[in-house]
Amino acid sequence: MFEVKSDPALWEKLGMDVERFKNMPPMLTQAYTNIFLGQKNRPQGMAYFDDCVANIHTGRIHELVAAKEAGKPVIGTFCVYVPEELVLAAGGVCVGLCGGAQGSIADAEKILPRNICPMVKSAFGFKVGRICPYFQAVDFVYGETTCDAKKKTWELLDQYVPTHVMEIPQKKGPRDKALWLEEVKGFKSAVEKITGNATGTQEIAEAITLINGKRRALQRLNSLRHHNPSPISGKDMLLIQQIAFYDEPNRFIARVNDLCDELEGRLREDIGVAPVSTKRIMVSGTPMALPNWKLHHIIESSGAIVVNEESCIGTRYYKDLIDESSQTVDEQLERLTERYMKIDCSCFTPNDERIDQVIKEYRESGAQGIIDYCLQFCHTYNIEAVKLRQACEKEGIPFLAIETDYSPEDVGQLQTRVEAFLEML
């Protein structure tokens, strides 16, 4: 029987608010059971990822603590723009810290304004409320300047945990690339100072190969779900993409490829998780940090299936690889910079590349409509949805824009809108 495990002694060691956090595992157990475990014809390979959730507050945290005790600093990040390769190359452990839960927002709103992004508030609230074992385990945090709420929140977060901020360029021209290359070099130096390890060509090459392997595994998995019938649900794919940000990379790669082998067998036998006639939806927009499964659950509970995510918890994270042929550190940092500059974040202006990428992924996925998901007060994605709607209208692509937060209060309204959209397809 599935159960999210508890370890109060471990949490006490990490300085958590144990009395308050002890209610989290049973709540997550119930939510996960209701959302994921009732799915029909689920692939057997999902058992590993179920186990990741069962051990999310215990087993993986024990691994992070062991890494710290072995002299490997644990470094937290909030954005796919922060190059995890350089953390691994220097002997550190990289974990994502974005918040996807409503429960920590009240803690944040005691300090932060209410009218900012719920993902920023959720993450900040996890730290100030001492109710996230990952936040308590990290030695250092890297923030970035992809939005105003983030870059100002990092100033406050630095009062609770050492926080370094990377300047993200707002355009993609030669001068912007030069700025980002200098930031990457500064990031490398800062990480080396934290870990006490200098990184050379071999260490960086091994880290690039490892993370490229993770990206290739996710690319492979995403391409399989584009078949009709899809061999895996959108909810399960979303979960795997979320786990990618905190699981041990080598193990994650192996388990994803094992799952892909199973799904390829399913495709040969035309076994899917939903009938061929099921309406197929692509989701675009803002990230969905764990445990934010709200929109996917609504869509798939309404009888459709999600077949692609153009998101930071999605293709933006893994669609591009780093060239592995570089022979010097300078060349490696150049190639790394070029790869990260291909991320289509809405912080860029102009950002026609993202509009083109959304249309491209829509065609490749075999979707029949796009639902653009935007967190409240995320102004860049909310405004960019105007251009995306215009492009979809020009291409004849059904389009629905949704703005929401982590609260369950609007689930009924969203369900009505999604069902109407599906009826229209």
What pLDDT, on the 0 to 100 scale, is given for residue 163? Answer: 96
Per residue in 58-68, pLDDT tens? 999 999 999 99
**Residues in CB range of 69: below 8 A, 6 or more apart:** none
Cis ω before 229 (30° cut-off from 0): yes
Backbone phi, psi, residue 330, to 5° = -60, -40
Task: Give CA torsion, residues 402, 244, 346, 339, to 10 deg.
Answer: -150
* pLDDT number for residue 374: 98
pLDDT digits (tens, 9 = 90+) for 255-272: 999 999 999 999 999 999
Q: What is the pLDDT of residue 410?
A: 97
pLDDT, residue 154, reads 97
The rounded distance, in Å, linking the Cα atoms of 307 and 180 is: 33
Q: Give residue 377's pLDDT.
A: 96
pLDDT of amino acid 15: 98
> Can you give the pLDDT at residue 242?
98
Query: How many other C-beta atoms lie within 10 A of the C-beta of residue 9?
Result: 8
Task: Write out pLDDT tens, residues 231-241.
Answer: 999 999 999 99
- In whole numbers, what is the pLDDT of the chain averaged over residues? 97
Low-confidence spans in the chain with pLDDT less than 70: none
Strand partners, 248: none
Which residue, among 383, 380, 387, 311, has the nearest Cα to 346 in the 3D structure? 380
**Half-sphere exposure of residue 261: CA atoms within 13 angstroms, side-chain side:** 7
Concatenated DSSP letters for 266-315?
A: HHHTT--SS-TTS-EEEEEES---TT--HHHHHHHHTT-EEEEEESTTTH
pLDDT tens digits for range 274-311 = 999 999 999 999 999 999 999 999 999 999 999 999 99
